[in-house]
Amino acid sequence: MQSVDYTTLTAISVDLQTHWLPARVEQVYQRDRYTIAIALRTLKTRGWLTVSWHPQAARICIGDPPPKIPDTFTFSDQLRHQLNGYALIALNSVAPWERVINFQFAKRPGDPAVWHLFVEIMGKYSNVILTDAHHQIVTVAHQVTANQSSVRTVQTGQPYELPPTLTGTKPSLEESQTRWQERVSLVPGKLQRQLLNSYRGLSPTVARSMITMSGLDPQQLTESLSDSDWKTLFSYWQEWLKNLETHNFNPGWTTDGGYTVLGWELKDSVETVQTLINRYYSDEINQERFGQLRHQLTQKISNVLGKLRVKAEGFTQRLQQSEEADRYRQQADLLMANLHHWKAGMTSITLNDFATDEPVSIALNPEKNGVQNAQTLYKQHQKLKRARSAVEPLLKDVLSEIEYLEQVEASLNQIERYNHPEDLQTLEEIREELIEENYLSDPQQRTSPSKDEFHPYRYSTPSGFEVWIGRNNRQNDQLTFKVATDYDIWFHTQEIAGSHVLLRLEPGSVPDEADLQTAANWAAYYSRARQSEQVAVVYTEPKYVYKPKGAKPGMVVYKREKILWGYPHNLPG
């Protein structure tokens, strides 16, 4: 993940100074343990300033509104108490080439600053610190004690001190090429490393981009550069410094999937640096959360399903044993009807079956008489019969639970990688469902998806009708019982876990066979049978789909269905 460097931070600060000063603080909300959002209102617009001290994604930018869930963090509560209603009157770097921005707040524009919010963008050492006008720390995002750092402590009640000054020479436009070249090549080594070791404020991203734009290799040795190579590289060095001095920035995406504010290695331009930074880090953090959450959910479902299948196998074996109950009763009846054939000391007796007249061998206890042996067989019959009546509902419950979890597993298998924010939301909805169903514990400080948002998969049929597909059980229920109308057609794979699918129709519309087939193909694709050549798919009117009392999310029964073969590999490109 690309870090916000001094160059990017300067571009962000300049844009904020141009468009967001002065601004009134209307709200403070903490999104997670590393990120706050401050609602700012200017005379022209309103937006949310994202401030993050995330170890890999520390940043400042105008970002998205926070989710509509309670904020239970202490840090944001303290910020709200101090900053709400105040005006953001200034923001500036605390020192040249330092990645610390001082946000200043006053009662109204033109008044002296009452509060200072120091935002330190320094990788894993990033922090956000609120002080009063005398720079006394009032609250801090991350307390740093003497046990944690011998260099600098950051605690409530202490005077605020700047981070230790960076080593290295400050870059300057006045420096000649000769002096610059001598400094970089003084110690032979790899070009990018020597640039970074020689000057402060230069990030690996800018250094690599500068070298690449010069047609050089970041890993080549400094002594291998020709005079023309040095001249070209120095021209980009000066271009970088001029852009910083004149605030000439060109934000956009680079060819390697990162971003730039200098316009170097540019693939696509972005209108503002705020949009660029917000989108890049939102996607990166969402992707990281997606991977972690999907792994957690997949592992949990796999473990629980494994245990349930073992339990189901055990119940099935006990039922198979209980099927012998009738045999014991038949043997007891035979023995009671033929007691005159019994003789003392017999260990077995062979009698003809009542119905088939076939010989049946019955094991006997030689220490018991005929009646006692029959009674033993009757007792064994009753025991196995009771076991069957006890095991059958248990097996039914276990199989129902397996069916439900296989449905959840099918939803997880549909989203293998992160592409859109809706992918992460789908996983969060699955997590919430599993918490509600007591498969997962309820963690503190988690981000819950908004129940107002609904983002099913959407596709079109040859006639232009829409096909809506639930991405998880919550969406399946919403699709079937809230969205579906009497004109729609409901699809689902037959006796196979999969998504609920709706073919959306307007009143009076009649789908043709190609439309029905397309919907069936999507239903087959979004199921556990995705890899099959063909899959049986049922379809019916939504009014014939029911949720049994007490059924888990996504579990339904249906009637008046018709069957169509779905082909999961025969889908429009």
- 51 to each of 33, 118, 119, how far by Cα in Å? 12, 11, 8
pLDDT band at 450 (very low <50, low <70, confident <90, very high): low
Q: What is the share, in percent, of the chain residues with pLDDT greater than 90?
A: 74
Q: Which residue has the tokens 């935002």?
A: 119
| Spatial distance between the Cα atoms of 62 and 49, rounded to a whole number of angstroms | 4
Q: Which of 277, 284, 245, 246 is nearest to 261 (CA)?
A: 277
Please tell me whether residues 465 and 392 are part of one structural domain. no
Q: Is residue 470 part of a domain?
A: yes
Query: Are 24 and 134 in a shared domain?
Result: yes
- Residue located via tokens 């959360």: 289
Q: What is the 3-state secondary structure (H, E, C) of 467-492?
A: EEECCCHHHHHHHHHHHCCCCCEEEE
The count of residues in the chain is 573
Of 271, 288, 308, which residue constitutes the final position of a domain? Answer: 271
- The answer to whether residue 416 is domain-embedded is no
Residues near 15 by beta carbon (within 8 Å), at least 6 away in sequence: 272, 273, 274
Name the domain count of the chain. 4
Q: Does residue 224 share a domain with residue 133? A: no
**Strand, helix or coil for residue 354:** coil
Per-residue model confidence as pLDDT tens digits over 503-546: 999 998 999 999 999 999 999 999 999 999 999 999 999 999 99
DSSP-based three-state secondary structure for 87? strand
In tens, the pLDDT along 37-87 reads 999 999 999 999 999 999 999 999 999 999 888 888 999 999 999 999 999
Give the per-residue pLDDT at 540: 96
**Two structure tokens written together for 171:** 């870059």
386: domain range?
A: 321-400
Q: What is the band of 168 on the pLDDT scale with cuts at 50, 70, 90?
A: confident
User: Is there a domain that residue 194 lies in?
Assistant: yes
Number of H helices, E strands in the chain: 12, 22
Q: What is the mean pLDDT of the chain?
A: 91
Same domain as 112, residue 10: yes
Question: Are 354 and 479 found together in one domain?
Answer: no
- Clarify whether residues 182 and 128 are in a common domain: no
**Residue 448 pLDDT:** 55
The answer for residues whose C-beta is within 8 angstroms of residue 193's C-beta and 6 or more apart is: none
What is the Cα–Cα distance from 262 to 244, expressed in whole angstroms?
9
Mean pLDDT (whole number) for 95-120: 94
12: in domain = yes
**111 and 51 within one domain:** yes
Q: So what's the pLDDT on residue 389?
A: 80
Instruction: Tell me the average pLDDT across 18-39.
Output: 95
Q: Which of 365, 382, 400 is the last residue of a domain?
A: 400
pLDDT digits (tens, 9 = 90+) for 223-260: 999 999 999 999 999 999 999 999 999 999 999 889 99
Same domain, 396 and 498: no
Q: 35-41 and 23-32 as β-strands: parallel, antiparallel, unpaired? A: antiparallel
Residue 77 lies in a domain: yes
Residue 430 lies inside a defined structural domain of this protein: no
Query: pLDDT above 70 covers what percent of the chain?
Result: 98
Query: What CATH number is associated with residue 20?
Result: 2.30.310.10
Whole-angstrom distance, CA of residue 394 vs CA of residue 94: 68
Helix (H) or strand (E) holding 101: strand 100-106
In a domain, 148, yes or no: no
Instruction: Please give the average per-residue pLDDT across 455-459, as a whole number.
Output: 91
Of the three residues 229, 254, 271, the one that is the final residue of a domain is 271
Looking up tokens 């199989």 gives 399
DSSP E strand boundaries for 288-356:
348-352
Q: Are 102 and 189 contained in the same domain?
A: no
Whether residue 185 is contained in a domain is answered as yes
Helix (H/G/I), strand (E/B), else coil: 88 = strand
- Tokens 């869930």: give the residue: 69
